[in-house]
C-alpha cells in the first residue's frame, strides 16, 4: 500500500555546505516525498544524495534525496518549494554587498529556470546580499511577491537568542528575541520585544551589554567567516531555511521573521525587508505588524530606504 503521508517536492539549488545541509534537514523532517539537490558541478549532488539516502535506515526517514548535476533542472519540475542557495560565499574581509554582481547573474539564471520548471513554487532565497537577491529573484521569475521571500530574520534572531542565552547562562528555550530590517548593516534588533523567562531583557541585562550583543548579532556572519577562513556559516542558516520551507509545506500559518514584500505596513511601501510574516502554502500570507518603540520603528524605516536604493540597482544586473 502506498504511503501518502509524505507529499510534495522541495528543490534546493546549490550543493555547497549550505545547500546540502538544508537538503538533509528537509529530508530528516520526513514530510515530503522528494528533496532534489541541484548544482552546476557534475556528480557532486548525485554523490551527496546517494550518501544521504544511505543514512535513511539509521535515521529512520523515507524522504528520497535526488541529486542532479551539470546545471540541469530535470527532476525538479513541479516543486512546491525551491530554496536558492546558489552563489559565492563570503571570504574574510568581504561584506555581503561585495558579492552583489557575481551572485546577481547566478540568481537571475536560477530564478528564470525555476519559473519555467516550477511555475507554482514558493521560493526561499538565501544567497547574499540577501535582501537584494530576494528582490531580484522576484523580478526574474515574475512570481507574485508573496511567493518569493528571503531567509534572514530567522537566522539573525537565532543568533541574537543564542548570544543572550550564553551571556546570561540560561537555556536558549527561555529566551525570546527578534530582529527585523535588513540582513546586514541595517539589521534592526528589537530589544523591546526580547524577554528572558518572560521578563523584559532590559530588566535582566545592562543596556551596554544589550548593545554589545546587538552589535555581535549584526556581525554574526562575519564572526563565523573570520574563524573559518574559508567559506561561511551553514548550520544555523540551513536550519532557518529548512524551518521556513516546513512552514510552507505544512501550511502552518507560523509567524516568523523573514525578508518579505512590505507595502504599507509600518508606513513603509514597496520594498523587500525583514519583518514578521505569517507563512503558509502560498508563501507569505500577510506581514504581521508588531509593537515597536519609536527608535526601533525609525531604524526599520532607515533600513527600508537603504535596501530600497540597492534593490533598484539589481533590476539591471
- Contact call for residues 150 and 183 (beta carbons, < 8 A): yes
- The x, y and z cell numbers of residue 175, run together, are 529566551
316 is in an annotated binding site: no
Helix locations, 3-118, DSSP H: 17-29, 44-53, 56-59, 100-117
127 is in an annotated binding site: yes
d(CA 132, CA 140): 12
193 is in an annotated binding site: no
90 is in an annotated binding site: yes
- The x, y and z cell numbers of residue 12, run together, are 534546493
**Distance in Å from the first CA to the final CA of the chain:** 50
126 is in an annotated binding site: yes
16 is in an annotated binding site: yes
Length, in residues, of the chain? 317
15 is in an annotated binding site: yes
39 is in an annotated binding site: yes
Give catalytic status of residue 212 as yes or no: no
113 is in an annotated binding site: no
**φ, ψ for residue 252 (rounded to 5)?**
-80, -25
Cell numbers 557532486 correspond to what residue? 44
Q: Which of 147, 183, 193, 243 is catalytic?
A: 183
- The x, y and z cell numbers of residue 40, run together, are 552546476
163 is in an annotated binding site: no
Nearest to 69 by CA among 21, 15, 107: 15
Annotated binding site: 14-19, 39, 90, 96, 103, 126-128, 159
- The catalytic site residues sit at 183
Annotated binding site for NAD(+): 14-19, 39, 103, 126-128
Annotated binding site for substrate: 90, 96, 128, 159
Amino acid at each position: 500500500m502506498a504511503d501518502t503521508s509524505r507529499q510534495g517536492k522541495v528543490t534546493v539549488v546549490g550543493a555547497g555546505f549550505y545547500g546540502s545541509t538544508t537538503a538533509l534537514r528537509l529530508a530528516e523532517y520526513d514530510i515530503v516525498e522528494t528533496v532534489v539537490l541541484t548544482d552546476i558541478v557534475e556528480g557532486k549532488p548525485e554523490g551527496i544524495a546517494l550518501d544521504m539516502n544511505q543514512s535513511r535506515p539509521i535515521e529512520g526517514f523515507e524522504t528520497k534525496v535526488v541529486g542532479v548535476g551539470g546545471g540541469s533542472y530535470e527532476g525538479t519540475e513541479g516543486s512546491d518549494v525551491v530554496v536558492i542557495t546558489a552563489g559565492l560565499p563570503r571570504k574574510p574581509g568581504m561584506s555581503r554587498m561585495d558579492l552583489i554582481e557575481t551572485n546577481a547573474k547566478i540568481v537571475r539564471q536560477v530564478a528564470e529556470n525555476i519559473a519555467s520548471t516550477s511555475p507554482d513554487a514558493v521560493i526561499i532565497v538565501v544567497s547574499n546580499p540577501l535582501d537584494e537577491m530576494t528582490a531580484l529573484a522576484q523580478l526574474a521569475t515574475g512570481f507574485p511577491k508573496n511567493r518569493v521571500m528571503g531567509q534572514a530574520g530567522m537566522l539573525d534572531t537565532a543568533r541574537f537568542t543564542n548570544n543572550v542565552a550564553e551571556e546570561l547562562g540560561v537555556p536558549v528555550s527561555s529566551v525570546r528575541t527578534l530582529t527585523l530590517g535588513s540582513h546586514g548593516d541595517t539589521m534592526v534588533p528589537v530589544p523591546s520585544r526580547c524577554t528572558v523567562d518572560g521578563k523584559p531583557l532590559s530588566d535582566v541585562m545592562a543596556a551596554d551589554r544589550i548593545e554589545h550583543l546587538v552589535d555581535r548579532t549584526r556581525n554574526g556572519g562575519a564572526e563565523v567567516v573570520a574563524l573559518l577562513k574559508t567559506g561561511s556559516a551553514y548550520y544555523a542558516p540551513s536550519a532557518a531555511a529548512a524551518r521556513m520551507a516546513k512552514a510552507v509545506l505544512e501550511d502552518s500559518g507560523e509567524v516568523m521573521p523573514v525578508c518579505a514584500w512590505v507595502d504599507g505596513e509600518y508606513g513603509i511601501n514597496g520594498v523587500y525587508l525583514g519583518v514578521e510574516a505569517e507563512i503558509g502554502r502560498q508563501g507569505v500570507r500577510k506581514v504581521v505588524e508588531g509593537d515597536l518603540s519609536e527608535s526601533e520603528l525609525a531604524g526599520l524605516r532607515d533600513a527600508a530606504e537603504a535596501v530600497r536604493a540597492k534593490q533598484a540597482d539589481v533590476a539591471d544586473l
